[in-house]
Structures are given as C-alpha cells and as structure tokens.
Amino acid sequence: MNQNKPSYLNFKSKDYPWKPDVDYRKYPELYKVGKGEQGVLICEPYKSEIGPYWRFKTELIAKESSQKIYLLFLEYLKNNDFVGADMARKYLQMGFTRARRYFNYKGGQKYDTGNDYNQLKKGTGDPEKAKSAEIFYQKWRAAENNKQYAALKTAWKKTRG
C-alpha cells in the first residue's frame, strides 16, 4: 500500500475552513489565511475576480497573467482589502506551483491513479513551464515582501487566524 497518497483523497469538505457559499467580501471575518494556497479555488467573490486571469501555458501568457494578478493584489491593498490581497497572493503562488508541476510531470499528473497512487517519474514535463513558474515565482515573492501586505497579514493572523 502506498504511504504517500495525495492528501486530497481524504478531503473532508465539512472540516475545511473555507466555504463556497460565503461572500468573503461581505464577511471577511470568516476568512482564514491558512497554509499556502488553501481556499484559493473556493473563496468568492475573489475566485471569480482573479481566477479568469490565472494562466501559465507559455512564458508570454504567464507574464501577462502574473502581471494582471499582481495589479489586482495592489488594488486590493489600496482598498485595504486584506482578503482580496491574500487571495491574489495565493493565485500567484499557485501559478508557480502548478507551472512547476507541469514542468516536473507530463500533463501535470503527479500520481498514477491506476497504480495505487504511486508517484510518477519526475522530469517528464514541459520545459516551457519552468519559465512560467519563474515568472510567477517573482511576482509571488514581490507580493509576499510587500510591507503593507506583510503588516496586514501579521495583524490578521494575530486577531483572526
């Protein structure tokens, strides 16, 4: 039995802190920062505002996508909308991690679903995605290192988790 199965196999939506039926702009107090990219594909209205721009197929597409998402990040900060800024930061991080996944594994598939979810061989993916990953990485780091964002995140985690 494979001990390194993907965590999503044991996912329990009722225990997940982010809910698809919550408007996190109206009820920001329900938002949790979480770990990494958690909640990024659930939290509305940000998912609908940011998600359509999230692309990494080519280097050019990744540049345009990451720039647009970073501008949204700055706009959320300008409006003192920490939840929006954090969600935009998560999309930038996810651009990096997903592009790396497609670089490392052909078709982005890390696990062999037909073979007890054993991890597939690394190094079989698209080299173009490494360029996309680097572009998203730079924007993600710029967001993480933004002083206003860092202060808001620290305060949020201290008071709301």
Residue 71 lies in a domain: yes
- Average pLDDT score over residue span 42-65: 96
State pTM to two decimals. 0.88
For 84, the 3-state DSSP assignment is helix
> Which of these, 53, 58, 55, lies nearest to 72 by C-alpha position?
53
Q: Is residue 6 part of a domain?
A: no
Coil, helix or strand for 117?
coil
Helix H or strand E segment including 130: helix 128-144
Is residue 12 included in any domain, yes or no? no
Domains contained in the chain, number: 1
- Please report, rounded to a whole number, the percentage of residues in the chain having pLDDT higher than 70: 94
Which of 84, 89, 91 minimizes the C-alpha distance to 45?
84
Give the whole-angstrom CA distance, residue 15 versus residue 58.
36
Mean pLDDT, the chain, whole residue set: 90
Please say if the pLDDT value at position 125 is more than 80.
no
Report yes or no on 11 lying in a domain.
Answer: no
From residue 83, alpha-carbon distances to 17, 30, 114 in Å are 14, 10, 39
Residue span of the structural domain in which 85 resides: 19-159
The reported pLDDT for the residue numbered 8 is: 64
Mean pLDDT of 103-109: 83
pLDDT at 1: 44
Q: What is the mean pLDDT of residues 119-140?
A: 89
Report residue 15's pLDDT band, with 50, 70 and 90 as the boundaries. Answer: confident
| Max intra-chain CA distance, the chain | 50
